[in-house]
Amino acid sequence: MTSLRIAIIIGSTRPDRVGPTIADWAFDRASGRGDASYDLIDLAHVGLPLLDEPEPAAAHHYRHDHTKRWSRLIDSYDGFVFVAPEYNRGMAGSLKNAIDFLYAEWNDKAAGIICYGSSGGLRAGEHLKSTLGEVQIATVRAQVSLSIYDDMTDFVQLTPRDYQVANLDAMLDSLLRWAGAMRALRAGLINP
């Protein structure tokens, strides 16, 4: 079997965001492990408008090229790490929008979460878990919760506390176990 493919998705699209810095930190750590293939996906560069498909994603009748491209991209991964800021007690609208475009492409895959914000992004993480559950993504328990007060300098420079690397490793370990199991499930090697 080929190595697992994991996408690290930057969930914010706003200018001067911290998400790319956090995603780069996670990508560097993950890539150095040598246990899977990791890619960065920045929603600011994907080119999705507000959801404009006339039929629900579960119908899988996409009309727009941007949706078809997004479908092929997401379908090619076994799992995801979502880098999710907390905006007004929830996840960024850009991330919710990107998830809502698709359905089957997310099914029976695994995800880990790196959330961040004034309260460590925990409410965004819970909001995201609920949404991911609806598209049948299994979220792992271990996650990274970064405080803009304690894990950043001047709210923009990432200076994670020492234990955050252990949290990231624990999340990645769990994600790979689940992504491997879900891949076997999708391949029919495991009967539910």
DSSP string across 45-71: HH---S---SS-GGG----SHHHHHHH
pLDDT digits 0-9 by tens, 124-169 = 999 999 999 999 999 999 999 999 999 999 988 999 999 999 999 9
Residue 192 belongs to some domain of the structure: no
Residue 23 belongs to some domain of the structure: yes
Burial class (CB in 10 A: 0-12, 13-18, 19+), 153: exposed
Structural domain count, the chain: 1
Residue 111 belongs to some domain of the structure: yes
Contacts 24+ apart (CB under 8 A), 178-184: 178/79, 178/110, 178/138, 178/140, 179/4, 179/6, 179/36, 179/78, 179/79, 179/109, 179/110, 180/4, 180/78, 181/110, 182/78, 182/79, 182/108, 182/109, 182/110, 182/138, 183/1, 183/4, 183/78
Residue 191 belongs to some domain of the structure: no
pLDDT at 189: 86
pLDDT at 190: 80
Residue 49 belongs to some domain of the structure: yes
- Residue 1 pLDDT grade (very low, low, confident, very high; cuts 50, 70, 90): low
Q: With a cut of 90, say whether residue 93 has pLDDT above it.
A: yes
CATH code, domain with 55: 3.40.50.360
C-alpha to C-alpha distance for 85 and 181, rounded to whole angstroms: 28
The least confident of 8-12, 48-52, 132-136, 186-190 is: 186-190
pLDDT at 156: 86
Residue 52 belongs to some domain of the structure: yes
pLDDT digits 0-9 by tens, 28-60 = 999 999 999 999 999 999 999 999 999 999 999
Percentage of the chain surpassing pLDDT 90? 95
* Full residue range of the structural domain in which residue 14 is found: 5-186
Tell me the two tokens of residue 62.
């996409």
Query: What is each CA distance from 57 to 11, 74, 97, in whole angstroms?
Result: 19, 13, 12
pLDDT at 116: 97
Q: What is the pTM of this model?
A: 0.96
Residue 169 belongs to some domain of the structure: yes
C-alpha to C-alpha distance for 65 and 53, rounded to whole angstroms: 11
